[in-house]
Structure 1
Amino acid sequence: MMVKSAFLLALSMTAFAILTGHAGESNANERPNILLVMADDQGYGDAGYNDHPFVKTPHLDAMARDGVVFDHFYAAAPVCSPTRASVMTGRHPFRCNVPNHGHYMHPAESTIAEALQSVGYVTGHFGKWHIGSVQPESATSPGGAGFDEWLSGLNFFDNDPYLSHNGTYKKLEGPGSVISMDATLEFLRKHAKGDQPMFAVTWFPAPHDPHQEIPQATDGAATMYQKEAGKKAGYYREITLLDQQVGRLRGALKELEIADNTLLFYCSDNGGLNPQTSGGRAMKGSIYEGGLRVPAILQWPSRYQHQVIATPASTCDLYPTLLAVADVEIEDQPTLDGINLLPILAGKQDQRPPLGFWHGHSQGQSTWSDRIIKSLKEAQDAGKPNPLPQRVLKNVYQYPKFDRNQATRGHAAWNKWPWKLHRIENKGRVRWELYNLADDPMERADVSGDAPDVLESMQKELEAWQKSVLQSWSGADYGDQKTGVR
């Protein structure tokens, strides 16, 4: 990892200021605070600003009015862990050893937290982790991935959770999403007047089931949305709860007088739980649009006014974009699937390279956050050995090799806007589907027979990308780092 010289840094930041139209501002050479906030299972249409018929999200709605709305923003995967790996690395999650939920991200990956640490950021992670261990000795813990401070759960959690605080296991009282924001605000207040810019990642455990959290200080909170949503009422209650936490965060940024030069980004980790409001076909677990398209808003008052971005973007794009924002270069950067979004935000670019998706290749691995951390806490309190040593690293140093019959199994897609190609392989049999998303956003009319040239060229591109992904997953990107931690 290499930080530029002072001269190149100043030159690059001047160019960045010109690109964003703020060359004359006094803070043009200051690195912003960066906050990444993510919901767990919120669908594209499950917010007021995206015209949901009843769910109340006034703070997200206000953020959307003030900030940049990405109208075709995609999670890298239709389930949680893989998308989180893409945020951290800018790479498709298979490359990082996270093909499905519960797998651990490889320790040799370069993370955005490490990159920002290298140029002076103080870093914190708060909430759901689910891409590694929360044991302090693990290179896959938040601390091992570049976070100075962390209060993290292994997977989703609800009320009164067990969490790991910098490797010390604790049982806390209250709703998990509120606890996650409490820790975030404590981090911001602790460091706001310091001489380091702040990087905080808040990954809410809501609105993942079993939906035990309820909105705070709200009349009738426990039965809110019962009439409108029935069995799904708890899902929408948790969305309103996390909206309240976004409001707390935005309020704190103003209170601390750091809102103007803070980049705040909000999105979900995959599609939602209601296909009727998912923004496309299907829902969580599918790489049709409803499983991937998610709400996404960027707020950075000193740089951007309200606009709506129609160009497709992805969670893989966060890593290269933030590297550009903070002006960091990475030596020997492995293959990226994401791009720097700054030219798109500046109106200099309205096209992007294709986006690849792939799911169903490997099974997920169950991770019971409270059960596991409770066991670790009991051993820690009693001075006993780690009862779960197998969970420190799991399989991160096993580099998979797949034979011809296994290599490309599952459901893959290639989004070359407006075209989206699906390759569905099951038991060695392959089926292709092609959709024009501009004309058919619900992916109802397969036009593969009507556009043979488009079909053939996209088939070649998708299969070449799949080959590249498998090479990365087998450890080809790590060189001599394959058998140890960086």
Structure 2
Amino acid sequence: MIRYGMVAVALMGLMRLMVGGCYASEQKPNIILVMADDQGWGDTGYNGHPVLKTPELDAMARDAFVFDRFYAAAPVCSPTRASVMTGRSPIRAKVPNHGRYMRPHETTLAETLKAAGYTTGIFGKVHLGSGQPGSPCNPSSMGFDEWVVGLNFFDNDPYLSRNGTVEHRKGKGSVILMDDAIEFLEKHKEGSKPIFAVVWFPSPHSPHKEVPDGVRLYDGEKNAGYFREIALLDQQVGRLRGELRRMGLAENTILWYCSDNGGLLKESSGGREKKGSIYEGGLRVPGIIEWPAKKLKGRTSVPVVTFDLFPTLLSMAGIEAANPTPQDGMDVSGVFSGEMKRRAKPMGFWHLFQGGQSTKSDLILKDIMEKQQAGASLPHNAERMQKDSFDFPQFPEDIATGHAAWNDWPWKLHRITKKTSVYELYNLEDDPMEATDLSSLPEYRERFERMKAELNAWMRSVVRSINGADYKRKGRN
């Protein structure tokens, strides 16, 4: 079976993949990416939540480097995860909404790090493809050596796929995935290769059945279930940091924490609206990074987005690898030294280009497990092995469905399309809640027209990507 991204990375390796950059003479760092599911920017103690306590994230924030304006690439889960894996707007990779599979043609962060000598693993909620063996859209095909995953969010006693074999696990899902991640780190801590691990929590996504250890928290609070799952998540982040110290891995490990989209509560979203919206509350999320060996510490208001992780991590690890497809992200490692004081590249967002697709993780994986145990033919072969990821429907370049935005800090332009398109312009520095639309004021006319042209040009480039132009140009279609 052809794996397009792996072929591309192998070719890059023959041509140019090498160690370079500012950390070239030193051992490559381990890299661990941790992501919450539906935690808003204000849903942390260190960002001043009036009720919720997150002592472990607060400790990490004190010890490490905090992003005040960290953005998810989309206001829902699957697209943001695709942006981390590709460094691109998720629509380019054919993940415009939840439940869509990422195209196998994409070159992923895992593939690139694996080609540079890393051992790779992913644990938890993936929501980008299949959990079946042999699928061109499972984590193996994305570049991961080892994996234990759910297809979407899960809670207690989940069904999880371990390298394609489904298991019914007992316990809290967020604890189980951390068990698996720590087991992976323990297994490879003495190895000759650096480690890349992705740890993606299923919490605090509803229905909020998981509860933290210890004293029962938040009784009587309106959003007690949500708060309890964040508390459980917080405990597991602290557990991971403690295990890294115990294993002797903490010093040379880049640990990056964020959420996949805005939170479930408008009051603590850090902006207007919440999950599902292109307004700030649907995109702004917690962001913390630590690397003790480089003494990363401080705080920045420079905007950073999840598709920046790909180029930034390669730079930090001293890896040169020219991605064969157009990137939306940029290397933001200069913010750690203070050299980068403002973002040079605008950020484009686009939601509801297409609708989402339901993914009932436990139901699907239970069905697969029963067939595996019975030695019967696996189900969902047509529906779940690859979905429509090899299809290339041709969208017109001027399509403008849904809601798009162009963030050229501190200015943000919205294009909201129903039957017609309506534009809104905000200055986020003066108006963080996006309450006063400036688009019709004559003094901002020049800026409005320029940003409108930039947004529309970017949207058309995204449509060309989902239509397959990037792969054709590289001979990969």
TM-score by length of 1: 0.92
Q: Describe the shift of the 1:404–1:191 C-alpha distance in structure 2 as closer, same or farther (beyond 3 A).
A: closer
Provide the residue aligned with 1:38 in structure 2: 35
- The answer to whether the aligner puts 1:73 opposite 2:70 as a matched pair is yes
Q: Where does the alignment leave 5 or more consecutive residues of structure 2 unmatched?
A: 1-8
Aligned-residue sequence identity (percent) comes to 55
Provide the residue aligned with 2:215 in structure 1: 219
Residue 116 (structure 1) shift? 0.6
**Hey, what's the Cα distance between the residues in 1 that align with 2:312 and 2:136?**
25
Provide the residue aligned with 1:255 in structure 2: 246
What are the equivalent positions in structure 2 for 1:230-241 lying under 5 Å apart?
230=222, 232-241=223-232
Is residue 108–residue 478 contact of structure 1 (8 Å, CA) maintained in 2? yes
User: Matched residue of 2:142: which SS?
Assistant: coil
Residue 302 (structure 1) shift? 1.0
User: Matched residue of 2:423: which SS?
Assistant: strand
Provide the residue aligned with 1:409 in structure 2: 401
Is residue 287–residue 359 contact of structure 1 (8 Å, CA) maintained in 2? yes
Q: Deviations over 1:236-257 (max 9, x none)?
A: 1000000000000000011011
Residue 325 (structure 1) shift? 2.1
Provide the residue aligned with 1:374 in structure 2: 366
- The answer to whether the aligner puts 1:196 opposite 2:193 as a matched pair is yes
Is residue 125–residue 150 contact of structure 2 (8 Å, CA) maintained in 1? yes
Q: Deviations over 1:414-461 (max 9, x none)?
A: 00000000000102x010100000000000010112211110000000
Amino acid at match of 1:144: S
Residue 328 (structure 1) shift? 2.8
Instruction: Compute the RMSD of aligned alpha carbons.
Output: 1.7
Q: Where does the alignment leave 5 or more consecutive residues of structure 1 unmatched?
A: 18-27
Q: Deviations over 1:307-366 (max 9, x none)?
A: 001100000000111121233333552000000111222221122210000001211000
Which of 418, 432, 448 lines up with 1:426 in the alignment?
Answer: 418
Residue 5 (structure 1) shift? 9.5
Q: Deviations over 1:123-165 (max 9, x none)?
A: 1000001011111211111111000000000000000000000
What are the equivalent positions in structure 2 for 1:256-275 lying under 5 Å apart?
256-275=247-266
- The answer to whether the aligner puts 1:476 opposite 2:469 as a matched pair is yes
Amino acid at match of 2:215: D
Which of 96, 101, 104 lines up with 1:104 in the alignment?
Answer: 101
User: Matched residue of 2:338: which SS?
Assistant: coil
**Hey, what's the Cα distance between the residues in 2 that align with 1:181 and 1:107?**
27
**Hey, what's the Cα distance between the residues in 2 that align with 1:404 and 1:343?**
35
Provide the residue aligned with 2:45 in structure 1: 48
Q: Describe the shift of the 1:207–1:358 C-alpha distance in structure 2 as closer, same or farther (beyond 3 A).
A: same
**Hey, what's the Cα distance between the residues in 1 that align with 2:396 and 2:341?**
39
What are the equivalent positions in structure 2 for 1:138-157 lying under 5 Å apart?
138-157=135-154
**Hey, what's the Cα distance between the residues in 1 that align with 2:82 and 2:37?**
14
User: Matched residue of 2:275: which SS?
Assistant: coil
Amino acid at match of 1:110: T
What are the equivalent positions in structure 2 for 1:114-125 lying under 5 Å apart?
114-125=111-122
Amino acid at match of 1:245: Q
Residue 387 (structure 1) shift? 1.4
**Hey, what's the Cα distance between the residues in 2 that align with 1:345 and 1:474?**
37
TM-score by length of 2: 0.94
Which region of structure 1 is more displaced relative to structure 2, 61-70 or 382-391? 382-391
Q: Deviations over 1:294-317 (max 9, x none)?
A: 000001011134200110000000
- The answer to whether the aligner puts 1:360 opposite 2:361 as a matched pair is no
- The answer to whether the aligner puts 1:325 opposite 2:316 as a matched pair is yes
User: Matched residue of 1:98: which SS?
Assistant: coil
Is residue 32–residue 197 contact of structure 1 (8 Å, CA) maintained in 2? yes
Is residue 412–residue 425 contact of structure 2 (8 Å, CA) maintained in 1? yes
Q: Describe the shift of the 1:456–1:118 C-alpha distance in structure 2 as closer, same or farther (beyond 3 A).
A: same
Is residue 17–residue 321 contact of structure 2 (8 Å, CA) maintained in 1? no
Provide the residue aligned with 1:385 in structure 2: 377
Question: How many residues are treated as equivalent by the alignment?
Answer: 463
Which of 419, 437, 444 lines up with 1:446 in the alignment?
Answer: 437
Is residue 271–residue 280 contact of structure 2 (8 Å, CA) maintained in 1? yes
Residue 462 (structure 1) shift? 0.1
Is residue 17–residue 319 contact of structure 2 (8 Å, CA) maintained in 1? no
Is residue 105–residue 476 contact of structure 2 (8 Å, CA) maintained in 1? no
Q: Describe the shift of the 1:194–1:122 C-alpha distance in structure 2 as closer, same or farther (beyond 3 A).
A: same
- The answer to whether the aligner puts 1:398 opposite 2:395 as a matched pair is no
Amino acid at match of 1:374: K
Which of 111, 130, 134 lines up with 2:131 in the alignment?
Answer: 134
**Hey, what's the Cα distance between the residues in 1 that align with 2:107 and 2:320?**
11
Which region of structure 1 is more displaced relative to structure 2, 166-175 or 392-401? 392-401
Provide the residue aligned with 2:290 in structure 1: 299
**Hey, what's the Cα distance between the residues in 1 that align with 2:137 and 2:176?**
23
User: Matched residue of 1:271: which SS?
Assistant: coil
Provide the residue aligned with 2:89 in structure 1: 92
Residue 91 (structure 1) shift? 0.2
User: Matched residue of 1:50: which SS?
Assistant: coil
Amino acid at match of 2:65: V
Is residue 422–residue 434 contact of structure 1 (8 Å, CA) maintained in 2? yes
Is residue 396–residue 463 contact of structure 2 (8 Å, CA) maintained in 1? no
**Hey, what's the Cα distance between the residues in 2 that align with 1:262 and 1:203?**
17
